[in-house]
Amino acid sequence: MVSVPLLSFFIAPQMKPLDMEYFQLEAGSELFYNTTENSDTWETKRYIDDSYEIINGIFGVFTVFWCEAHKYPGDSDYSWVNQMWLSKSGNSLIWWGFEDQNTKVIAHNGLTYVTEPVIAGANNYGLTLATLTIKGSSQVMDVNFEGNYTIDAVESVTVPAGTFNECIKVHEQEITPDGTIDFYVWYSKDVGGAVKYDYHQNNRTDVLTSYHMTTENDPWNNWLIPYLPTMLLWTISSSIIGVVAIIALIIVNKRLIKREA
């Protein structure tokens, strides 16, 4: 029976997703932006948190937190604003949830955001049920969540952090019970993350000023945890099959013994 968990240990990592150029989800990575919204301005930080979560049960999906924090004029440090749950599957980035100070939404099925290698005009659309929690109350409900993500262009972008070529311009449209959220994000493979955001509905723009991307800390390449749900499922399934096979052999042997007697 020892061979079962060992088999799961060696097989599961072979299913790990490919390295993605535009989305390096290495824990500890930080990107800094200058934000303007109408006449207001502040500093924004987006980062991959060191923590993680396996959502949708023990056989669920390993996700990392893509967080956003703001620092306004006069503030001494950044304050957390919101976060997303993200995972990778094959060569695709998968969106699983969002949380801010008022609400939390976790999808029952992940939505594909971008698939590499990138192609201008490529589109990913998805519809899923999601569990919505209203903070400060006992309201928990299932709602429909739609995501429509299109690579509008592959182009060069100039921001305070520099000029970046072959950036993908992603048009995000997310339809929720509260309405439609519509904005654009530019991602650079030289950075491994976003260099510009355009929230035209709010007249807000974020432009990259500096960044620090960690290395050798990609959970899917350097951690065992992302594969534990799969390994556990395979181990339990294999163990059940093994037990059933042993019971069947015992029954067959007993019948053979009775016949010989």
- What is the mean predicted confidence (pLDDT) over 123-132? 97
What is the rounded distance in angstroms from the CA atom of residue 79 to the CA atom of residue 43? 11
Question: DSSP labels for the chain?
Answer: -THHHHHHHHHGGGGPPPP-SS----TT-EEEEEEEETTEEEEEEEEEEEEEEEESSTTSEEEEEEEEEEE-TT-SS-EEEEEEEEEEETTEEEEEEEE-SSEEEEEEEEEEEEESSP-TT-EEEEEEEEEEEETTSS-EEEEEEEEEEEEEEEEEEEETTEEEEEEEEEEEEEEETTEEEEEEEEEETTTTEEEEEEETTTTEEEEEEEEE--SS--HHHH-SGGGHHHHHHHHHHHHHHHHHHHHHHHHHHHHHHHHH-
Banded model confidence at residue 6, pLDDT cuts 50, 70, 90 = very low
| Domains, the chain | 1-19+224-261 (no CATH), 20-217 (2.40.360)
pLDDT 10s digits, 176-210: 888 999 999 999 999 999 999 999 999 999 999 99
pLDDT beyond 60 at 121? yes
The answer to whether residues 212 and 29 touch, using CB atoms and an 8 Å cutoff, is yes
103: CB partners within 8 A, 6+ apart: 132, 133, 134, 135
Cα 12 versus chain centre, distance: 19
For residue 83, the one-letter residue type is Q
pLDDT at site 219: 78
* pLDDT of res. 234: 46
| pTM of this structure | 0.81
pLDDT confidence band for 13 (50 / 70 / 90): very low
Q: Of the given ranges (46-60, 120-134, 168-182), which has the lowest mean pLDDT?
A: 46-60
pLDDT at 238 exceeding the cut of 90: no
pLDDT band at 10 (very low <50, low <70, confident <90, very high): very low
- Choice between 58 and 243, residue whose per-residue pLDDT is larger: 58
| pLDDT value for 201 | 94
Per residue in 135-165, pLDDT (tens digit) is 999 899 999 999 999 999 999 999 999 999 9
Contact indicator for 1, 169 with CB cutoff of 8 Å: no
User: What is the mean pLDDT of the segment spanning 16-22?
Assistant: 77
Cα 195 to its chain centre, rounded Å, is 18
d(CA 154, CA 147): 21
Residues of the chain with pLDDT > 90, as a percent, come to 66
Could you read off the pLDDT of 52-99 as tens digits, one per residue? 888 987 778 999 999 999 999 999 999 999 999 999 988 999 999 999
| Mean pLDDT for the chain overall | 86
User: In 3D, which of 92, 87, 82, 249 has the Cα closest to residue 181?
Assistant: 82
